[in-house]
Amino acid sequence: MSAYDELMAFQRQTEALAQVAGRLGWDQETMMPAGAAEQRGEELGAMEEVLHSRRTAPEVGQWLAAIDDASLDAVGQAQMRHIRRNYARAVRVPAQLAARIARTTSVAYGTWARARADEDFAAFAPVLSEIVALRREEAGHIAEGGDAYDALLQGYEPGATGEELAALFDDLRPGLVALRAAVLEQPAPQPVSGSYDLALQLALSRKLAETFGYDFTRGRIDTAVHPFSSGSGSDVRITTRTAEADPFNCLYSTIHEVGHACYEQGIDPAYALSPLGQGVSLGVHESQSRIYENQLGRSRAFCHWLYGQMTDSFGDMGVADEEAFYKAVNRVQRGFIRTEADEVQYNLHIMLRFDLERDMARGTLEVEDLEEAWNARFAEDFGYAVDKPSNGVLQDVHWAAGLLGYFPTYALGNVYAGCLYLALQDDVPGLDDQLSRGDLSAATGWLHKYVQRHGGLHEPRAVIEQACGFTPSEAPLLAYLEQKFADLYDL
């Protein structure tokens, strides 16, 4: 066997083990009995140690030294790009530091949950300071003199820089702030009302998943407190959740997670259990979940079909007609919480977090000043004050989990979804006609062809650029939102 073949065989086992570890996480959220939590922590820790030792194994370094990338084909070169990058990141971080980060974030979850329940940011600040310090130290090892925030960001979005995202968001933010203000001056549309049978919600969820192309022979849907998609290759599972008064929570969570899952299920099977066999970045991943959920799933055309489906399932929903239903689906209202935000406001929540975490990572914002900075920025963009920490700086678990550099990928995904939707509309004639019949095949087929099947073959930004045929920017998303909400709110 050549060094490349040996490396890929080793890598294949590592990827298989990573799938096992990921499925433990799925099990924990869906199936695990409550009393097993402590043992599960040890199981996950043991799997992490196995994976870490494989990711930093000296023989990988030896294979890397022996392989001449230029002698490989394009797929081989792309594999090597991922393996070299991941190995370099992994070996630069001292094992003791990695272990300290794991221990600290594992304790921090409980501290954060209690602080949130007690509305007490000061109780969370010390451990958050420690996390920021540890991840800055980690970033210092990875960056080797480069920007600390970029080093963290690139763990989720290879190739991206904070500077580039800051410029992108600077172009996006004023338009969103203005659109949001204009929309909220108008009378709010009626939401749906009544009670929605949970079993019927889940049945319709399954139908929606199939409609959007989810393959149940290689996946399954369960319920969990927080919806997620999990796994790659031929075992990609999603979860959704149900609330009796709000059927859209269940249905659009499902469509969102189906977007993630179809990306994973759609990757060329030749890449299975290799570095190319999974979504290339969080931003590109989010572009798929968002375009499924929003540009397609919340479109006027698709809402026509969905209105019929939901009327069949649930009868009267307390909305006058199809137009009122479409408005209810796309209702914009004041709020504090990112995960409950609509298309207009969502990215404002993200940009706030991006600016704050970037400042923390670069040492220009202290954790002790974080709550004040959060509240000031929120007031600036949203026009009213945060009423309590659980509606502000304590609302998300990400920082407690050590995820610094993760938030902006959500907004980047929305920007990418805007670009893809523009190109998709150009390329697929009669799209609205199809959506209004509940036929997603051409739209999802286009996304499969230009994005999903490539897995990790191209760099994140490149895969979007090649799919669209133009340089990604915030402009398509902004134009789409302005047009959609001007129409919805008679602006």
Q: How far is the CB of 231 from a copy of itself (least distance, A)?
A: 9
Question: Cβ distance 252 to 267 under 8 Å?
Answer: no
13 lies in the site for a copy of itself, by CB under 8 A? yes
Q: How far is the CB of 193 from a copy of itself (least distance, A)?
A: 32
Q: Per CB under 8 A, which of residues 125..154 are in contact with a copy of itself?
A: none
Q: How far is the CB of 6 from a copy of itself (least distance, A)?
A: 15
273 lies in the site for a copy of itself, by CB under 8 A? yes
**In 3-state terms, what secondary structure has residue 384?**
coil
x/- track of binding to a copy of itself for residues 206-235 (CB under 8 A): ---------xxxxxx------------xxx
Rounded Cα distance, 348 and 330, in Å:
17
Active-site choice (157, 257, 264, 286) = 257
Closer CB to a copy of itself, residue 31 or residue 379? 31
Q: Within its chain, how far is the Cα of 326 from the centroid?
A: 25
Closer CB to a copy of itself, residue 31 or residue 376? 31
66 lies in the site for a copy of itself, by CB under 8 A? no
352-to-31, 140, 358, 392 alpha-carbon distances in Å: 35, 24, 10, 11
Closer CB to a copy of itself, residue 219 or residue 456? 219
Q: How far is the CB of 19 from a copy of itself (least distance, A)?
A: 6
Query: DSSP readout, 286-322?
Result: HHHHHIIIIIITTSHHHHHHHHHHHHHHHS--S-SSH
Rounded Cα distance, 163 and 147, in Å:
10
- Please, what's the largest Cα pairwise distance for the chain? 69
Question: Cβ distance 489 to 182 under 8 Å?
Answer: yes
Q: Per CB under 8 A, which of residues 15..54 are in contact with a copy of itself?
A: 16-17, 19-20, 23-24, 27, 31-36, 38-40, 42-43, 45-47, 49-50
Rounded Cα distance, 435 and 208, in Å:
12
Number of residues that bind a copy of itself (CB under 8 A): 37
Instruction: Name the token pair of 461.
Output: 């930004």
Q: Per CB under 8 A, which of residues 73..112 are in contact with a copy of itself?
A: none
Half-sphere exposure of 415 (CA within 13 A, CB side): 29
Instruction: Name the token pair of 161.
Output: 């820089």
Q: How far is the CB of 218 from a copy of itself (least distance, A)?
A: 4
Closer CB to a copy of itself, residue 17 or residue 184? 17
Closer CB to a copy of itself, residue 49 or residue 119? 49
Closer CB to a copy of itself, residue 45 or residue 76? 45
Q: How far is the CB of 219 from a copy of itself (least distance, A)?
A: 6
282-to-156, 168, 278, 285, 295 alpha-carbon distances in Å: 6, 17, 11, 5, 18
Rounded Cα distance, 70 and 17, in Å:
29
257 counts as catalytic? yes
Rounded Cα distance, 386 and 155, in Å:
31
Instruction: Name the token pair of 407.
Output: 């938030």
Active-site residues, by number, are: 257
Q: Which residues bind a copy of itself (CB under 8 A)?
A: 12-13, 16-17, 19-20, 23-24, 27, 31-36, 38-40, 42-43, 45-47, 49-50, 215-220, 233-235, 237, 272-273
